């Protein structure tokens, strides 16, 4: 049990960093500022469910997709790490994101995919199911999706407690951690590619 919990924590932290529930709440409140409470709740639920389904689907077929197009896990780790590095660096240097008109399916696209289930989350899932195990990774994904939904559903309370500056500061820290995780992914991917080349 202790080993499973340790693997769960190993999966939970990178996913929390990649998804950034607190930063997502900050963006969500700006996009839904004039939206009714019922609509905000529905949008948050659709976004979390969409991201969860996409994440689970990617865990299930990601490897088969890679085999079909002839790329390795190391290739994907390096590519995903580079994308994460760019995305996280932009977020770190310029937090503000432009608001998008709120359409009927906004909770599905673009909020659920690709803002929540973006390159950061998908890359992390593919790596973590190898390093932490499938079970702990799925559990960590579910918990992170719950936290993401909760932070968006109760975004007004989160903003009252932390304030806009608090949310922005936490998101900056999370972006910095995501940069470090991206560098780690590139390094591990490079090592995988080199080990494959040697063998």
All structural domains of the chain with their residue ranges:
36-198
Question: What six digits make up the tokens of 113?
Answer: 């995919």
77-130 pLDDT, tens digit each: 787 678 767 766 776 776 554 444 566 787 898 788 877 887 778 888 988 998
Compute the distance between CA of residue 126 and CA of residue 96 in angstroms, rounded to an integer.
Answer: 29
Name every residue whose Cβ is closer than 8 Å to that of residue 140 and which is 6 or more positions away in sequence. 8, 11, 12, 15, 128, 132
Q: Which of 22-26, 95-99, 118-122, 141-145 has the highest mean pLDDT?
A: 141-145
Mean of all residue pLDDT scores within the chain: 81
Q: Which of 26-35, 73-82, 92-101, 128-137 has the highest mean pLDDT?
A: 128-137
Percent of all residues in the chain with a pLDDT value above 70, rounded to a whole number: 84
Q: Max CA-CA distance within the chain?
A: 59
- Rounded to an integer, the average pLDDT of 169-175 is 72
DSSP code of 95? Answer: -
- What pTM did the predictor assign? 0.72
Compute the distance between CA of residue 31 and CA of residue 26 in angstroms, rounded to an integer.
Answer: 9
Handedness of CA 150, 154, 155, 159 (dihedral sign): negative
């Amino acid at each position: 049990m202790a080993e499973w919990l340790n693997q769960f924590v190993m999966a939970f932290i990178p996913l929390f960093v990649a998804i950034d529930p607190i930063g997502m709440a900050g963006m969500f409140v700006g996009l839904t500022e004039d939206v009714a409470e019922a609509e905000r709740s529905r949008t948050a639920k659709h976004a979390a469910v969409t991201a969860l389904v996409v994440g689970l689907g990617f865990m299930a077929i990601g490897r088969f997709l890679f085999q079909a197009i002839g790329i390795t896990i190391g290739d994907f780790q390096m590519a995903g790490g580079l994308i994460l590095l760019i995305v996280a660096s932009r977020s770190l240097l310029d937090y503000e994101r432009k608001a998008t008109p709120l359409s009927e399916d906004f909770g599905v696209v673009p909020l659920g995919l690709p803002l929540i289930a973006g390159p950061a989350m998908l890359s992390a899932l593919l790596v973590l199911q190898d390093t932490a195990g499938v079970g702990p990774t799925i559990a960590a994904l579910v918990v992170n999706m719950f936290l993401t939904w909760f932070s968006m559903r109760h975004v007004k309370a989160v903003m009252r407690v932390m304030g806009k500056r608090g949310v922005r500061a936490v998101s900056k820290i999370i972006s910095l951690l995501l940069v470090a995780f991206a560098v780690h992914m590139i390094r591990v991917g490079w090592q995988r590619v080199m080990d494959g080349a040697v063998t």
